[in-house]
Structure 1
Amino acid sequence: MTAGVFAAVLGAALLHAGWNALVKSGASKVGGITIMTLVQGGAGGLIALSLPLPTGPVWGWLALSGAFHAGYKLFLAFAYEQGDLSRVYPIARGAAPMIVLLVSPLLLTDILTPTEIVGIAILGAGIATMAAGSLRAREARRLIPYALGSALMTAGYTIVDGSGARVAASATQYVAWLFLLDVLIFTPIILALRGREVLRADARAWGLGALAALLSYAAYAVAVWAMTVAPIALVGALRETSILFAVLIGWLILGERIDRWKAVAAILIVGGVALTRL
């Protein structure tokens, strides 16, 4: 991996943690993610119109990925309604690669290596520690299943996009159509669940949502591009530094409490992810 790609992926990790912090800091977490999705989908639509239509096989991958992305955002918004950024984000991001590794041998021909097995064990310990800390702090228990639901959706789109992006004409085309389909799937679901209230927001909420959309779009576009020019495992491992960025943002900017167990759990999760990507 060149220094330029390294810096780009590290920047994408910071952008990912940043848009999550913007959503968490808003008055309505569901409203924030809804605004972000609408702006993101609009940008994706404009870019998609300037590019050739995807070929037949790509549509299936895009539709499945769009469904996973919509589910990911729903669970994430519900989790942020219940708990801190520095609690929810490590569970949601850390559990995803563990799920991918556990499911891959069932869906693919992959065989877990000893290093990956150790990484899964460390990841599990970190996630369990983070969840136990939530219970000890008497935070809302529902944040745990919501965060794990978000992780499950992340694992789903990770597996799907890994295959879909390879058969698309370009990463730009794939990401643009993905976000366009995402908004078409997500919007009717959230309106059915929460009603039109999610769209009634002030200028500040729309500004935060639009900025989150810009950061999210850039972060994912850089990640997909990096996987076409550098080893996927290295890119994936470096992206997970976003967990540490999120914990630091939660502590230094959002004023969240970071106790010893939360810090230990975050370090275990990052360490476990790094081992599974080696």
Structure 2
Amino acid sequence: MPVYIISLILFAALLHASWNALLRGGADRLWSMTIMCVAVALVSVIIALFLPPPAKASWIYALLSAALHVGYNLFLVRSYQVGDLGQTYPIARGSSPILIAIAAAVFAGERVEISTLLGIILVSGAIISLAFKGRKLSAPGLPYALGTGCFIAAYSVTDGIGVRLAGDPMAYTAWMSALWGIMMPPVYVALRDAKSLLTPRPGFVTAFAGGLVSLLAYGIVIYAMTHAPMGAVSALRETSVLFAALIGYFFLGERLSVRKLLACMVIAVGTVIIG
């Protein structure tokens, strides 16, 4: 994998950890997530107007991915409502690389080298270990976190196939993200009401900015999937857990334990093997 692709993916991981920290810190996470999606939709539509439409063969994948992203949003919000960032985030992100590597091999015909598979296993195992307390996996939101991981795997493989059929990664990303952003507000209204969505409240600017950050982060990942295997890209992206731990330590006053430090070292080794 080229060094510049690795660098881009690690930057996307930092961005991803940042917007998840913003979401977890919000008072109303479903509202914050919906505002993020509104930001994604607005910017994506503007970008799409200046790009040619993606090839027709990719349209079904863009639509399916948008729907899967909405499911991911709902599961992620629910996992943060019942669990801590330091537990649910590692489980959700750590469970997806292996699932993606398997699905990419089955549906996209990707061949995974033994060294790459070893790196993916190390990264995923180390990330999941961050969710343990002592010797027990103590996570109230475990089903939702695992469900989030399944949605991550599903939309990642869908986009990995779709972007390769699209002919233009930027066009595919813009149209898929626009569909995703447009779908989320009606879901919010169905679960709550339109009034609470439209009522101004503190945190709007933060949530809107979080949507822009999330769009940039995923756009980078989709671009990387056109130049590297899906499983490897996913595993490197999941190093966002490293950045989340550092953000928690330096900015949120969270404890950085020996277990976390060891897990971070294993993640770094796995990243080197993948690269």
Maintained 8 Å contact 2:10/2:236: yes
Where in structure 2 are the equivalents of 1:1-278 lying within 5 Å? 4-107=4-107, 109=109, 114-115=114-115, 118=118, 122=122, 125-126=125-126, 129-133=129-133, 141=140, 143-196=141-194, 199=197, 202=200, 204-229=202-227, 235-265=233-263, 277=274
3-state DSSP of counterpart to 1:183:
helix
CA distance in 1, matches of 2:121, 2:5: 30
CA displacement at 1:221 relative to structure 2: 1.6
Secondary structure of the 1:51 match is coil
Equivalent pair of 1:95/1:123 in contact (CA under 8 Å) = no
- The one-letter code of the counterpart of 1:84 is D
SS of the equivalent of 1:27 reads: coil
Task: Report the CA distance between 1:119 and its aligned residue.
Answer: 5.2
Q: Does structure 2 conserve the Cα–Cα contact (< 8 Å) formed by 1:65 and 1:178?
A: yes
Amino acid at match of 2:254: E
Q: C-alpha separation between the residues in 2 aligned to 1:82 and 1:187? A: 22
Alignment RMSD: 3.1
* Long gaps (5+) in structure 1: none
Residue 70 of structure 1, CA deviation: 1.0
Q: How many residues align?
A: 275
Distance 2:225 2:112 in 1: 21
- CA–CA distance in structure 1, aligned partners of residues 107 and 28 of structure 2: 38
What is the Cα deviation at residue 13 of structure 1? 1.6
> CA shift at 1:169, angstroms?
3.1
Matched position secondary structure for 2:203: helix
Would you say the 8 A contact 1:40–1:213 is kept in 2?
Answer: yes
Q: Are the aligned partners of 2:120 and 2:232 in contact in 1 as well (CA < 8 Å)?
A: no
Per-residue CA distance 1:165-219 (angstroms, 9 max, x = gap)? 0111311111111111112332222322233465256554111111111111111
Provide Cα deviations, 1:107-129, integer angstroms capped at 9, x if missing partner: 45456655466556656654664
1:49 CA drift (Å): 2.4
Deviation per residue, 1:58-101 (Å, 9 max, x gap): 21011111111111111111112223323222211111111123
Change (3 A) 1:274 1:96: farther
- SS state at 1:32 partner: helix
How big is the shift at 1:260? Answer: 4.0
Quote the offset at 1:34 in angstroms.
0.8
- Taking a change above 3 Å as real, the CA distance of residues 162 and 78 of structure 1, as seen in their structure-2 partners, is same
Q: Give the Cα separation in 1 of the matches to 2:222 and 2:264.
A: 25
State whether residues 37 and 182 of structure 2, in contact with CA within 8 Å, keep that contact through their aligned partners in structure 1.
Answer: no
- How high is the TM-score relative to the length of structure 2? 0.83
Per-residue deviation, 1:10: 2.4
Deviates most, 68-77 or 105-114? 105-114
Matched-pair identity in %: 36
1-structure distance, mates of 2:185, 2:135: 32
Which TM-score applies when normalising by structure 1?
0.83
Report the secondary structure of 1:81's partner residue.
helix
User: How has the CA–CA distance of structure 1 residues 128 and 176 changed in structure 2, closer, same or farther, with 3 Å as cutoff?
Assistant: closer
